[in-house]
Structure formats: C-alpha cells, structure tokens
Amino acid sequence: MRDAWPSARVRKNVSLIRTYHGFKGDKQGAMELLKLIFRALCLCWDRQTQDLHVDWILYRGRSLVPASCVVVNDNIDGFYPSSRYPVFAEFVLPRTVRLLETTPER
C-alpha cells in the first residue's frame, strides 16, 4: 500500500497537511503556533519524514496514478464539521482499463 500524498503530481494546501486544527481553522492561537514550531524542531530533517501526517489515502497497484491531492479547508460561516481537514485524492486510470457499462433492465 502506498500513500497518495507524496506520489501525487499536484498537491494543494500543502501547509495544512497536518490536518488537525481543533475546529479553529487557520486562526490558530499562539499556543498552537508554539506547538507546531516545537514539532518541526523535533522532526528528523530527512526528506522522507518532512511530510509526516496521519490522514492518508492508501492505494495499491500500478494501474492507479494519483493525479492530485488536496487538503480541503472549506467551512460554513467559520464553522468546521470536524477538528481535522479532510484529504481528497483524484486518481487517473490507464487507458487499458474499461468501465463496465450497465444495460438497462426491461
């Protein structure tokens, strides 16, 4: 199984990959900013660990190719449905894969 985030051709809202925001969205307080800085200092500076995150979209096989991944930060009047932002991935299927067509029943 592979994570779609590092394999995607296009990634949007990269700064929000650590998706927890505690229902506050982008308006993080000073304490959250200090926690983020502390976490950044404690991480290994290896390229493979810079994108540490807990919300993954896993896929397997070579026929799926992640085209884009987005951390969705939509809200309604400043209210968020969750304490985490959802992650959305779009995949490209190879041309050799055919979708099954359903025939209408009579």
Structure tokens at 95: 């041309």
Q: What is the pTM of this model?
A: 0.63
DSSP state string for 59-97: E-SSS-EEEEEEE----BTTB-SSSB--EEEEEE--TT-
Residue-level pLDDT at 44: 47
Average pLDDT over residues 99-105: 63
